[in-house]
Chains A and B, each alone.
Chain A
Amino acid sequence: MPLCKECKKFFPIKEDPNKGDCVQRVVDPRQAYYKAKPVGADMDASSCSSFEKK
């Protein structure tokens, strides 16, 4: 089962590597941006369509 921590978009928090940010690039019809959402390092990534192996 793939985990978030194995994903290129996962950035662990130094003080607590079990937690991190999922950072993704988005280009919408008007602007481009990077978005971040807190995720757990051991979160199941099997149903994540954005998963990219490190």
Chain B
Amino acid sequence: MAEPAKNNSVAELEKKQEWWWAAEKKRSKRLDYLRKGMWKKGAIGGLYPAGLQVDLEQAVLQTQKARELETSPDPFVVKQAKIFADYLDSKTIFITDHAQLVSYVGSLPNTINWNPTMATILNAEVINDPTVIPEPLDESLKVINEVIAYWSGKTDADRIMSQTDMADIMKILSGTIGWGIPLARGGYSGKDYEYIMSGKRAFEDVLAEIDKNLDEADASAHEPTANQEIIKLYEKMNNWEAYKIALEACIRHGQRYARLARIIAENYETDNKRKEELLQIADCCERVPAKTPRTLQESLQYDLFIQLFSRTEAVEGAWPARPDYYHGPYYEKDVNIDKRITKEEALDLAGEFLIRAAEVSQYKVKWVREGLQGIEGTWVWTLGGVNQHGDDACNGMTTALLQAARLVRVSNPTFGFRWHPKVKEEVLRECFECIRQGLGYPSMRNDPLLIANSMYWHGHPIEEARTWVHQACMSPCPTTKKGFQPMRMANATANCAKIIEYVFTSGFDPVVNMQIGAETPDAATFTDFEQVYDVWVIQMKTIFSILTRMINAARAYAPGLTPRPFLSAISERSVESGLDVMTPSLSRGNSWITAFTWVENADSLAAIKKLVFEEKKYTMAQLKKAITDDWQGHEEMRLDFVKNAPKWGNDDDYVDNIMLRCLRDCAIFGHELKDPMGNNWPILPENVSGNIHYANVVGALPSGRRRGDALYDGGISPGPGLDKKGPTAVLKSCGKIDHISDGRAFLLNQRLSPTQMAGEKGYSLWKAYMDTWYNLGLDHIQFNCVSDETLRSAQREPEKYQEVIVRVAGYSAHFVDISRKTQDNIIQRTVQGIG
């Protein structure tokens, strides 16, 4: 496919399914400028794209302020708030031509924000990453060295890890069984949107609430009868002071944008229409975040500010949000009631909102970038669903966002759509159109089932469960006072293929030469399948325990060691109590263990059961030897394990029952493990691009996989090419899982043929398929709908296919931004003919 001739019409381009070129022609001049002006930030092969620079401004300003405060008598939390405030007051801000929305996490559009207060291992990566260090190099290196030297031993990770078990830390940092480090200011941060985004209050209102609490606390502390109880009050008063410092700085920051917009309008801009827009931006930023929004533009700007401030305080790898639900009332008022703006103008705002989010970038360590190829974090925004009364919550903003996504075609954020029986046909068609046009999103989520799941696993009351958003790629979490989770630490992410691997190595990890799992008996001596399975359970429990106890410790230490004054200040529970938002007693808990590389366990156990213990074709000693040899010299035997053992995804009870048994043992253990809130730790099988990241970390497996082969791509997706019985069989296998009690959620990738999805018939086929999916009780499904031909052409001539998007796992990425191995893995996925 060559670049389109200039005279190709939108209709011609759409007929040829060249959606990316059609989008360029369809979108407004403003959106076209902003989309093309966007600096893509997602790492390619673990490296940031050319032209990006690590931003030294936050690192320098925070270090200066921290030094200045060293001798101050301020409590730690107040110092944290002052460092945060000083940065917002001093940082460089900018307004892009044609923009209507403002704010960025770094100083300039091509910068990657670097927060030096998080982890020494992250700081060390900055200095060793010459591709992003700004010129002049010597000067930058001097600055970076000074920053690193100052924060060494003072970062969150340094202080948290010194409080936890060194053996556990070594196991986690070995990179074999888990992913991430346990930080309260580094992970997936939920928000109390019901408190701060529902239009009832904004920052000045919260400040008034805090002042009232402070006055009451002060009065209590000075009562003649005041006793040792006042010690607790002092702690609260310090926290409230810190919240005030943070919120006041946020308001000032908004006003800085207002001032800049006025300066440009009054001194530089010659175009009258643009002048008006700039004055509109000024009004908007004078209004929010201080006061509640009145218009769609103000509402979107308010949201962006909140996200920016939260990312100033923390490194956030996800973006839990429900933009149609919270911005929908403003859309309705502006477009349909007051008719202030047209639908097209609202679409421009929605498109720009997506672009502003797509630009956000915070420096992350290389193994995180490798696990999230092509994107900056899993920003899965939640659309659709029901309101707290159970009525359909879709609105004009739902449609606007789905349409805007097709115009701007960013790969991050993506959407997860809460599908339920009351969703209108016209909205489903919008979802389908995004899927058909190859965006890979929205993923479809079974809303009634996930509401029930949230109630089952974490005890969220129904009204709260109904507010759920994706806390990361997949896990639902309410947006309420007790229900929202302030931080999901990424290291409860288990590389589950290690469970079956450790059955054969007695818990010794041959890749890092370390005893990581449990020291179980020699697998070569096992004489029946139950012995294998019992050891599998022991290894599963060992790995899950290591990961979760680190997080439990970090969560318990967080309020004292790594407080979050800004996030606390926008959370009802903290404003009310004066306690840090991470305080376990204030929260219901919503923990989960992400289960990467999960399905290999069921396929491997099924192969062992059938070929070793039932057909007795091989002994356990032979199998152990073959695996230890990475199947080298045992090719015939390997092919037997690949071809003649039952595989998940074919509606075959033999292996499907093993899958259920494994899940149910994890579920039992998930009820035994408790988080610091006293709540459960269910598993959640999904992968981001961990299936590629871990390919060299996981040894040979009884499924017939060799070390280095890509692992399976989904959470419960069958192995690529191993689902031989068609799409309904895949759904039937997955439908045997109880999607309420067997785990927190289950990711299923499917590929559809773009030819089959064309036209009205395509919609009917998809709708029928989705009805089956819904009736079988699955909680998730997502689609790639790009042909092999297009993907192969993109591999040959990437420069011509820069805008082709694919669904990787819980996220989408531009095809050209992911590794060759991941590209091949996506092409290998079975294209399902449906209907």
Contact = CB atoms under 8 A, between A and B. Distances in A.
Interface of A: 11, 13, 21, 23, 25-26, 28-38
Nearest to B51: A29
Interface in B1-59: 33-34, 36-39, 51
B94 A26 contact: yes
A11 B265 CA distance: 13
A31 B97 contact: yes
B263 A36 contact: yes
Interface in B627-659: none
B263 A11 contact: yes
B97 A33 contact: yes
B: contact size bracket: 20 to 34
B259 A30 contact: no
A39 B264 CA distance: 17
Contacts of B51: 29-30
Nearest to A8: B267
A31 B37 contact: yes
Nearest to A28: B110
Given A26-B94, A30-B36, A31-B96, A36 B109 contact: no
A54 to B, nearest CB: 12
A53 B267 CA distance: 16
Contacts of A33: 94-97, 99, 109
Contacts of A32: 37, 96-97
Given A13-B259, A23-B264, A28-B109, 9 more contacts: A23-B260, A30-B38, A33-B95, A33-B96, A33-B99, A33-B109, A34-B263, A35-B107, A36-B260
Nearest to A11: B263
B83 to A, nearest CB: 16
A23 B737 CA distance: 59
Contacts of B93: 35-37
A54 B796 CA distance: 55
Contacts of A25: 268
Given A23-B263, A26-B94, A28-B109, A34 B268 contact: yes
Contacts of B91: 37
A36 B256 contact: yes
- Which residue, A28, A34, A37, has most C-beta atoms of chain B within 10 A? A34
A29 to B, nearest CB: 7
6 contacts: A28-B110, A30-B36, A30-B38, A30-B109, A31-B97, A33-B109
Contact of B263 (A21, A28, A30, A37): A21
Given A31-B96, A34-B95, A26 B108 contact: yes
Given A13-B259, A28-B109, A36 B268 contact: no
B109 A31 contact: yes
A11 to B, nearest CB: 5
Interface string B496-512: 00000000000000000
Interface in B91-127: 91-97, 99, 107-110
A38 B256 CA distance: 9
A37 B99 CA distance: 19
Contacts of A26: 94, 108
